[in-house]
């Protein structure tokens, strides 16, 4: 991965998701394919949680006609996104903040990868509704994040599998254990059934699962 990024900090950041998210590079590729199914060659795409710039870079490289609006609450991560993008940054407008900081659009498509699990349920509902409002009719929305059964026994089992994957990918056993403690205790996690219901409740239709990797799930849905 280091050779892929000219900035050493970007290279180090890029190693994290690959080690912690099963099939991370494939997830990005699949997300791009799903977006491209229903978007024009000159699409304007909203990327929520764009800090670091990994998916922005992946999408921009495969779709040279697309323009992007990236939103993230961290100024530091947006700076890293610029460095990750390099010359591709000319096609990306970056906004510091949350969904309310995003332009009104309307956008041809939207993504939110590895972000919604940080947001409590009611604010997540509002965020999804605001994404929906900013999309053109029938526009695709691709979302992926931690989403797994929340019953006590099942929750512990899936978190243990997440830690085992991270350890097998080069994360120290101690760091992997610390990670699952933080995930289990601090994140406002939902089950896959709850996540799908939120998408439908906020106006999205044809919700379909396209990705599952231990504690992660990903869906594609469309503005009704």
The answer as to whether 197 is a domain residue is yes
The answer as to whether 137 is a domain residue is yes
Burial class (CB in 10 A: 0-12, 13-18, 19+), 168: exposed
Residue 196 · residue 140 · CB < 8 Å:
no
The answer as to whether 160 is a domain residue is no
CATH code assigned at 42: 3.40.50.150
**Domain count across the chain:** 1
The answer as to whether 183 is a domain residue is no
Sign of CA pseudo-dihedral 119, 121, 125, 128: positive
Beta carbons within 10 angstroms of residue 195's beta carbon: 24
The answer as to whether 124 is a domain residue is yes
By residue range, what is the domain housing residue 107?
2-149+189-223
Backbone angles phi, psi at 159, to 5 degrees: -65, -35
Query: Nearest Cα to 32, choosing from 223, 224, 218?
Result: 218
The answer as to whether 176 is a domain residue is no
- Write out the chain's pLDDT in tens, 224 residues: 233 334 545 446 667 899 999 999 999 999 999 999 999 999 999 999 998 999 999 999 999 999 999 999 999 999 999 999 999 999 999 999 999 999 999 999 999 999 999 999 999 999 999 999 999 999 999 999 999 999 988 999 999 999 999 999 999 999 999 999 999 999 999 999 999 999 999 999 999 999 999 999 999 999 99
The answer as to whether 120 is a domain residue is yes
C-alpha distances (whole Å) from 8 to each of 11, 87, 117 are 5, 16, 28
What's the predicted TM-score (pTM) here?
Answer: 0.92
């Amino acid at each position: 991965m280091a050779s892929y990024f000219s900035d050493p900090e970007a290279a180090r950041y890029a190693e994290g998701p690959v080690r912690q998210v099963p099939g991370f590079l494939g997830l990005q590729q699949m997300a791009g394919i799903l977006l491209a199914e229903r978007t024009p060659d000159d699409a304007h795409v909203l990327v929520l949680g764009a800090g670091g710039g990994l998916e922005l870079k992946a999408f921009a490289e495969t779709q040279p006609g697309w323009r992007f609006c990236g939103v993230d609450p961290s100024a530091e991560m947006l700076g890293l996104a610029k460095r990750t993008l390099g010359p591709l940054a000319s096609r990306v407008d970056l906004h510091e903040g949350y969904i309310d900081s995003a332009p009104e659009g309307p956008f041809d498509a939207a993504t939110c990868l590895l972000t919604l699990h940080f947001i409590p349920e009611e604010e997540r509902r509002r965020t999804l509704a605001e994404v929906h409002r900013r999309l053109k009719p029938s526009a695709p929305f691709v979302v992926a994040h931690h989403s797994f059964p929340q019953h006590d026994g099942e929750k512990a089992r899936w978190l243990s599998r997440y830690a085992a994957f991270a350890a097998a990918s080069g994360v120290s056993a101690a760091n992997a254990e610390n990670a699952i403690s933080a995930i289990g205790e601090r994140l406002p996690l939902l089950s896959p059934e709850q996540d799908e219901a939120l998408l439908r409740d906020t106006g999205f239709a044809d919700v379909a699962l396209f990705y599952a990797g231990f504690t992660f799930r990903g869906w594609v849905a469309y503005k009704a």
